[in-house]
Chains A and B, each alone.
Chain A
Amino acid sequence: MHRRGVGAGAIAKKKLAEASISTLLDICIFCKVELALMSCSSLFIQAKYKERGTVIAEDQIAQMSKQLETFKSNLEEFASKHKQEIRKNSQFRVQFQEMCATIGVDPLASGKGFWSEMLGVGDFYYELGVQIIEVCLALKHRNGGLITLDELHHRVLKGRGKYAQDVSQDDLMRAIKKLKVMGNGFGMIPVGGSYLVQSVPAELNMDHTVVLQLAEKKGYVTVSEIKDGLKWERERACHVLDHLLKEGLAWLDSQAAGEPQYWLPALFSELTSRDVSPEEANQMTP
């Protein structure tokens, strides 16, 4: 390609442009330095702070570990002193559990280690867990695997005998929470002021739970009760009730006046105090 010659005017123009560019660059450089300086100083301040912070943090950590050490030794002392009390007194156990919870310690996290060795707390709950499973299994043919916490409590106490340590509902709930580890079989459904303990892996969602809560007082529930009480569509109510039938948790009574009633053996109050008769036990094995 042929280059055209450059005229004087063009040169002058170029010079001017170059000068202005260099001025611009100068300004830029100045600004940059300024900026750099600024960030430098802030870095310096930050470092200072950090240094100071570290010192404070180190202090705190040292202090805290010291506190924790004291706390631990105190707790150990407390635990060994009150071991009997913790095992025997359910009120005491609740408070101990709460105390552990506030410092983020789960005394049931493992069967080994400090807590169970020192206190036997673990053993206590594992034993209870086994008893809970026993009661639930023994009554599954009746209630389909759903039982009120009250009934469970009553039966566990009965099974443990007169001379065993007292067991509170709080203990039961803790033991049940631990049973969840073994799979999705165990769960607790809040109804009224208490809970229903679920020992079979039936899929229960919020809809089922709400219907169970509705049935809690009378032991049964009907479609229109659900429609009125929960403002649901008929289909939704039927769907939930069918599911409860399907899971073996509810029984249908079609002789009731007006409309069919759906009964839950788990909530049938007359049943709560009834023991399993030998005949009933025989029926369990078909």
Chain B
Amino acid sequence: MSFEWPWQYNFPPFFTLQPNVDTRQKQLAAWCSLALSYCRHHKLYTLDVLEAQESPVFNNKKIERKLSMEAIQVVFEELRKKGKFIPFIWNLEWLDKNKSRCLVMWRRPEEWGKLMYQWVSREDLIFMISVSRNGMVNAVFTLYELSNGDDTEGEEFHGLEEWMLLRSLQALQAEGKAEIITMDDGKGVKFF
């Protein structure tokens, strides 16, 4: 499925930060929404502002307009603030003080955890799962298996970056649905 650009993407002034406060607010809301859906579509989890500048999302070659680095930072900052005020919708975290790299959470760790738990609980996976005495799901995976294994191919969380994978599992752990364990060759997880 090809990515569908919003109408603003072809509207030249969209790439200039607007002087009017109200208009700018609309503009930033549209940018946040575009940046997130672009990341979701291309499964991007970590963004580098310098690299982002050259990415098609912030650089429309057809109309020869691009969002400046400062403007990209404003958009990202807006995304971060939004997550703070509307929890569980989306979020963004800066990785450094200079705000040159960031983590984008177009899906919350809790939601990722839920998706993984649903996958583990599927019936056709039962052969991999030993059912514990109280009848609960009980399965062990390495982190690599979960994000890059053949079994998860085609699942949405396939290819999830490790930092996000860990956070999702931590969220599950907090709910008592999983436990992160140390295995010989790294980390693993036990689902309950």
Contact surface of A with B, Cβ cutoff 8 Å: 141-142, 144, 220, 245-246, 248, 251-256, 261, 263, 265, 268, 270-271, 274, 277, 279-280, 282-283, 286
Contact = CB atoms under 8 A, between A and B. Distances in A.
Looking at chain B's contact residues, the main secondary structure is: helix
B11 interface: yes
B65 interface: yes
Contacts of B27: 251
A245 B19 contact: yes
A272 to B, nearest CB: 10
A141 B27 CA distance: 10
Contacts of B30: 280, 283
A286 B6 CA distance: 18
Contacts, number: 64
30 contacts: A142-B7, A144-B23, A245-B18, A245-B20, A246-B20, A248-B22, A248-B23, A251-B13, A251-B14, A251-B16, A251-B18, A252-B13, A252-B18, A253-B12, A253-B65, A254-B16, A255-B12, A255-B64, A256-B12, A263-B11, A263-B12, A268-B7, A270-B11, A271-B7, A271-B11, A277-B6, A279-B6, A279-B37, A280-B30, A283-B26
Given A279-B37, A280-B6, A282-B33, A261 B23 contact: no
A254 B66 CA distance: 11
B13 A263 contact: yes
B158 to A, nearest CB: 25
A253 B65 CA distance: 9
Given A253-B65, A263-B12, A279 B33 contact: yes
Nearest to B82: A286
A261 to B, nearest CB: 7
B29 interface: yes
Interface in B13-66: 13-16, 18-20, 22-23, 25-27, 29-30, 33, 37, 64-66
A265 B64 CA distance: 18
B10 interface: yes
Contacts of B25: 286
Given A282-B33, A286-B29, A255 B18 contact: no
Contacts of A246: 20
Contacts of B23: 144, 245, 248, 251
A268 B15 CA distance: 15
Q: What's the interface size class on B, roughly?
A: 20 to 34
A280 B11 CA distance: 15
A253 B29 contact: no
A79 B27 CA distance: 51
A238 B70 CA distance: 26
Chain A to chain B: the 7 pairs with minimum beta-carbon distance, closest first? A251-B13, A253-B13, A283-B29, A253-B12, A274-B7, A263-B13, A254-B16
Contacts of A251: 11, 13-14, 16, 18, 23, 27
Nearest to A247: B20
A252 B7 contact: no
Given A261-B12, A261-B13, A280-B30, A248 B7 contact: no
A132 B71 CA distance: 36
Contact of A255 (B15, B20, B22, B29): B15
A31 B82 CA distance: 100
A143 B14 CA distance: 13
A240 B18 CA distance: 17
A86 to B, nearest CB: 38
B28 to A, nearest CB: 9
Contacts of A252: 13, 16, 18-19
Contact of B20 (A141, A248, A253, A265): A248
A268 B25 CA distance: 20
Given A246-B20, A283-B29, A255 B65 contact: yes
Contacts of A286: 25, 29
A213 B15 CA distance: 25
A167 B27 CA distance: 34
Contacts of B22: 248
A274 B30 CA distance: 15
